[in-house]
Structure 1
Amino acid sequence: MGGGAAGFFGAIACAEANPRLSVVLLEKTTKLLSKVRVSGGGRCNVTHHCYEPVELARHYPRGGKQLQEPFRQFGAPDTVRWFEARGVKLKTEPDGRMFPVTDSSETIAQALEDAARRAGVRVLTGTAAEHIEPGPEGGFRMALSGAQAPARELRAAKLLVATGGNPKSSAYDWLRRLGHGIQEPVPSLFTFNVPNSPLKELMGVSVAHARVVLAGEKLEYEGPLLVTHWGVSGPAVLKLSAWGARRLHELQYTGTALISWLPTQQEEPLRQWLHQFRAEHGKKTVLANPLFGLPQRLWRTLVEQAGIGNETRWSELAGKLQNRLIELLLRMPLQVRGKTTFKEEFVTCGGIPLAEVDMKTMQSRRVPGLYFAGEVLDIDGITGGFNFQAAWTTGYLAGRAMAGV
Structure 2
Amino acid sequence: MKSREFFKTITLESVLEHIETFPHMEKETVPLEICQDRVLADDIISDIDLPDFMRSTVDGYAVQASSTFGASEGTPALFKVVGGVEMGRPPNISVGPGEAVKIPTGGMLPHGCDSVVMVEHTQPLDQETIEVLKSCAPLQNVVEIGEDVAKGKKVLERGRRIRPSEVGLLAALGITTVPVFRQPTVAIISSGDEIVPVEVQPHLGQLRDVNGYTLMGMVKKAGGIPLYMGIVRDRFEDLFQYCQEALSRADIVVLSGGSSIGTRDFTIDVIQVFPDSQILAHGVSISPGKPTILARIGRKAFWGLPGHTVSAMITFLVMVSPLIEKMSGLLPRFRNTSYRIPAILSRNVASAMGRVDFIRVRLTRDGDRTYAHPILGKSGLIHTMVNADGLIKIDINSEGLDRGSEVEVIMF
TM over 0.5: no
More helix by share: 1
Normalised by the length of structure 1, the TM-score is 0.22
More strand by share: 2
Report which of the two structures shows the higher radius of gyration computed on alpha carbons. 2
